[in-house]
Amino acid sequence: DEILLVGGMSHMPAIRRELARILGREPNMIANPEEVVAIGAALEVARLEGTIEGVLLVDVAARGVSLSIYNGPCEPVIAQSSVVPTRENRVLTTRHDDQTRIEFDVWEGESPEPFRNRHLGRYGIVDLPEAPAGDVLVLIEITIDTDGTIRLSAMELVSGERLQVEQLVHAGLSRADVVRLARQMAETSS
């Protein structure tokens, strides 16, 4: 294994020094780091058109995804550089008798300390069956699609029933904001 720096920022000595300090070894430079993305795109087009064979480009998650529950530490679920699409599961359980809701946070990053990660949102699993603490087991499935979209689903393990995942706190732009900004950009560029 080796660390390869690509892109224009790899020319900056401070970047190379900081990566060496963090990773404990020197990263390697390639001859033309600015061209790597363009070469990869050209190879993928040629592969899709059938003009070359034996080349496989693999997309990976740029950052890991973690969960935290009950304001506890973050637990990595999907590791950085996992091949996408990917899917991982975690089991959550109730802590109190007759608890009908579980809330959890989703984070971009893999640090156990939430403040070192980027908060993506708080979610709730609702309409859980009333039962003694620990008897309700909820399987949370986290998927990263090829376009980088993170999807969540939930199932109560005893009954096999699919559960609703509610987004309680959104940590980014809403769909309406994205549409509004896209329209503004289209208007200003025409």
pLDDT at 183 over 90: no
What is the tens place of the pLDDT at every residue in 47-103?
889 898 887 778 888 889 999 998 899 999 999 989 999 999 999 999 999 999 999
What is the tens place of the pLDDT at every residue in 131-163?
999 999 999 999 999 888 899 999 999 999 999
What is the tens place of the pLDDT at every residue in 6-54?
888 788 888 888 888 888 888 888 888 888 878 888 888 898 898 988 8
Tell me the C-alpha distance between 118 and 110, whole Å.
10
Q: Of 67, 77, 140, whose CA–CA distance to 105 is shortest?
A: 67
pLDDT at 4 over 90: no
Strands 102-108, 65-69: pairing is antiparallel
0.85 exceeded by pTM: no
The domains of the chain, with CATH numbers, are 4-49 (no CATH), 65-175 (2.60.34.10)
Higher local confidence (pLDDT), 117 or 19: 117
Q: Quick one: pLDDT at residue 190?
A: 66
Q: Quick one: pLDDT at residue 44?
A: 84
Q: Quick one: pLDDT at residue 83?
A: 93
- Cβ(142)–Cβ(106) under 8 Å? yes
Q: What percent of the chain has pLDDT over 70?
A: 97
